[in-house]
Chain A
Amino acid sequence: MAAMRMREALNAALREEMERDESVVLMGEDIAVFEGAFKVTQGLMDQFGERRVRDTPISENTIVGTGVGAAMAGLRPVVELMTVNFSLLAFDQIINHAAAIPYMFNGQVRVPLVIRMPGGGGHQLGPTHSHSFEAMFLQIPGLLVACPSTAADGKGLLKAAIRDDNPVIFVEHETLYGIRGEVPDDPDHIVDFGSAAVRREGGDVTIIGILKMAHEAERAAETLASEHGIEAEVIDPRTLRPLDLDTILESVRKTNRVVIVEEGWPHGGVGANLAALIQEQAFDHLDAPIQRVTGADVPMPYSKRLEQSAIPHPEHVVSAVLETMIGAKPRA
């Protein structure tokens, strides 16, 4: 075990996989000489050279498409998109191509491609740089979607993503790059896709949170325990596709109450999807309507106060839990 930041854990995963497998190549804007907008690729060009760590022009759709082609022909490209908002320029290659090709050509070819992208709000970057698109990627059949919230998961999931033969959307949260945690040294430390982490055990309510909201859920759980005597079980799904629904349902059968927290928009969100799955599978076990805590239903505003008001915080989670516990509309 070693203590490291998320940024370093991701860097270690890339480094180890590149050392292990010659077919792993990195492509992205400003990842080589500049070492990445968030410094995740620091030192990699120096170690592996420009043949394997490639600066690209500002051409998102083409970068991803090049990754798709290279993957079809036997490489394992890891493409970095500078932020999730820029992935929108690459949606054609991601959805019409990366996700569809294995199916469309009846399995004759695979697309072992990883597309990394940091997202999330909180840094006053305004309506073109601050969003959370997990739900959009989650909707696309053919894609796997990972969203790590700890350094150890960051490393383990990224290594799993690189070794996987499917196209993987790997969502990072900008606020979490500096988060520190114990990370296994074992170069074969992998976090399997489809295995949720139970961050905290409790019998009264199940709180499900991803990325930064996994942390906010834990903080809310602490407040609920100390101030309200409520024991929450906190679950971080870690991957949205495949989804470890079994772990979630097991918890729901125990607590009978669910609150889902995400930073993205409410309409058609991660929570909307989870709520549908849970009520389909465990309706008889629910004692209250499932509550969702989401980002505000607006493009992210720049003003610091407006932006913070548009992002969920532990207070919102506590309030939602109290509502699901006693049906009351308590004060925050």
Chain B
Amino acid sequence: MADEEQTSEVRTPAGVLNSSRGRELPDGETSRELLRQMALIRRFEEEAGRQYQRAKAGGFLHLAIGEEATIVGTTSVMAPDDYLIGTYRTHGHAIARGTDPKNVMAELFGREDGTARGRGGSMHIFDGDRRFMGGYGIVGGNLPIAAGLALASDYKGTDDVTVCMFGDGASNTGNFGETMNLAALWSLPIVFLVENNLYGMGTAIERHSAVTDLSHKAEGLGVPGERVDGQDVVAIRECVADHLEIARRDRRPTLVEAFTYRYRGHSAADPEVYRDKHEVEEWQRRDPIEIFARRLIEAGTITEDDLASIREQVEAEVLEAVEFADASPEPPLDSLYDNLYVFEKEHEGWYAVDERTPDPFRGEREREAAEDERVRELHEAGAAYGGQSPRSGGGSGEGPAEETDAPADSAQSEEEGEVDAEQAAESRQQGPGGIG
């Protein structure tokens, strides 16, 4: 833990942060990798935003631009078998864990090669192979699950630690208090990491949390914490490494509060009426990628040319991911029921009462089989609306009666992409206009 004596003051736009973290740079190779990962996530997120404007990605899109140091600093000190679990803002978390950006982009496109074959979308990324145990759309829903992951590790006698990341807003959920108590009571190996970006959607932290120093929020429940500069990748790294060690060795949970900021709106459709532009600009002056790159150049770890080549490399990787996602096929309609149940043992009985797929479930032998042809045609007829209705967040403005009149939104070219962006903006005005 931080040594009081050596504490220095870090000025953030949200106030002064006392920290002794992050004084010493990691070795050259590690430093370059931290920079590369942060740059990759930044570029991926920018491109995801662009593809959303072009209606290639749908739903809500939550970008982590500005929060890259917190993500990468954390994952860079995790062991391969440690678990990570997060929120709906976790494209970067998966990528930092090693998931190929191609598969993340394909998930945003809702395609066959996506991390969940287009089932989950942007808010629900998952990569079990890399122990990224998911992004979750329900605020606070991932906290108890983290406790369960850690319970399993503890039960099995492994020394794997679970890192559970969530937002400042999530610290107000019942799940927060209940999970903290249980994790402390059962001595579970967890590092809770709150990505405090000062807002839960459009509500500023002073308006949503009685205690705004979140590092202390779980103390009364048995989980002590530490606040760290979330824009300093080295500080985060050091801090999380210490807390991982506490979980691994001392078998007890702790909380890290990373002070960070998201530059973009809560989701892509957010008009951001709740904060002023200057605040965003002020935070951008402490940009995590920029400050780390400068520091590495000053230290002679990298040159300006190295920086340029990292940027080129991630640019190429992200564009390749877009190309890959675009070429990936749509999931077949008859996969609609895949993985709803595990059918290893055959049970008798009807599982479902739906004809959308000709042979959905075993056990339905009694049901009068519908004509395959008719079922297929109806299924196609429904799916065809997917090529016609305007993209997420925007109905056509007049509800379902106009859906079929709305323009097709598969942008083929750059110009069409711009038109789509306009239509998307217009439909957001008139349609449901959700900003979740």
Task: Enumerate chain A interface residues (CB-CB to B < 8 A).
Answer: 5-7, 29-30, 33-35, 37-39, 55-59, 61-62, 82-83, 85-86, 89, 118, 122-129, 174-180, 212, 215-216, 219, 266-267, 294, 296-299, 301-313, 315-316, 319, 329-332
Contacts and interface: CB of A to CB of B under 8 A. Distances in A.
Interface stretch (B28-36, B155-163, B291-299, B392-400): B392-400
Nearest to B59: A124
Contacts of B331: 301, 303, 305-306
B201 A177 contact: no
A42 to B, nearest CB: 10
Interface in B388-429: 389, 391-393, 395-401
A122 B118 CA distance: 15
B353 A267 contact: yes
B310 to A, nearest CB: 32
Nearest to B431: A178
Interface string B129-143: 000000011111100
A313 B382 contact: yes
B383 A29 contact: no
B180 to A, nearest CB: 15
B1 interface: no
B389 A319 contact: no
Contacts of A294: 354
B308 interface: no
B187 to A, nearest CB: 27
Contacts of A124: 58-59, 110, 121, 391-392
Contacts of B208: 55-58
Contacts of B397: 178
B203 A29 contact: yes
B202 A30 contact: yes
A126 B116 CA distance: 11
B43 interface: no
Interface of B: 58-60, 107, 110-111, 116, 118-124, 136-141, 169-170, 172-174, 200-203, 207-209, 273-274, 330-331, 333, 335-337, 340, 352-354, 356, 370-371, 373-374, 377-387, 389, 391-393, 395-401, 430-436
Given A174-B434, A307-B386, A34 B203 contact: yes
B58 A55 contact: no
Contacts of B141: 128
Contacts of B124: 126-128, 302
B119 A301 contact: yes
Contact of B172 (A57, A174, A307): A57
B398 A296 contact: no
A67 to B, nearest CB: 16
Contacts of B377: 331-332
Chain A to chain B: the 7 pairs with minimum beta-carbon distance, closest first = A34-B202, A302-B121, A179-B399, A128-B137, A57-B172, A124-B58, A303-B118
Contacts, number: 251
Given A30-B203, A39-B433, A58-B140, A215 B400 contact: yes
B397 to A, nearest CB: 5
A9 B432 CA distance: 14
B434 to A, nearest CB: 5
B274 A33 contact: yes
A82 to B, nearest CB: 6
Contact of B381 (A37, A61, A299, A313): A313
Contact of A266 (B137, B353, B380): B353
Contact of A177 (B107, B340, B433): B433
A58 B137 contact: no
B382 A309 contact: yes
A330 B374 contact: yes
A310 B398 CA distance: 22
A91 to B, nearest CB: 12
Contacts of A126: 59, 119-121, 123-124, 137
A83 B170 contact: no
Contacts of B354: 266, 294, 296-297
A308 B378 contact: no
A82 B337 contact: no
A58 B139 contact: yes
B382 A302 contact: no
Contact of A331 (B119, B207, B374, B383): B374
Contact of B393 (A59, A123, A299, A307): A123
A130 B169 CA distance: 22
Contact of B436 (A125, A219, A308, A311): A125
A125 B392 contact: yes
A175 B433 CA distance: 9
Contacts of B118: 301-303, 306
Nearest to B141: A128
Contacts of B433: 7, 38-39, 177-178
Nearest to B111: A303
Contact of A308 (B138, B371, B385, B430): B385
Given A124-B59, A297-B353, A310-B382, A212 B436 contact: no
A330 B335 CA distance: 24
A61 B173 CA distance: 9
A128 B123 contact: yes
Given A58-B208, A123-B434, A332-B378, A313 B119 contact: no
Contacts of A176: 395, 399-400, 432
5 contacts: A176-B400, A177-B395, A178-B398, A304-B58, A332-B378
Nearest to A292: B353
A304 to B, nearest CB: 4
A67 B203 CA distance: 20
Given A178-B432, A329-B371, 6 more contacts: A125-B434, A178-B395, A302-B110, A310-B336, A329-B374, A331-B374
Contact of A216 (B330, B389, B393, B400): B400
Given A58-B140, A302-B124, A332-B374, A33 B399 contact: no
B197 to A, nearest CB: 14
Contacts of A302: 58-59, 107, 110, 116, 118-122, 124
Contact of B382 (A37, A316, A330): A316
Contacts of A212: 399-400
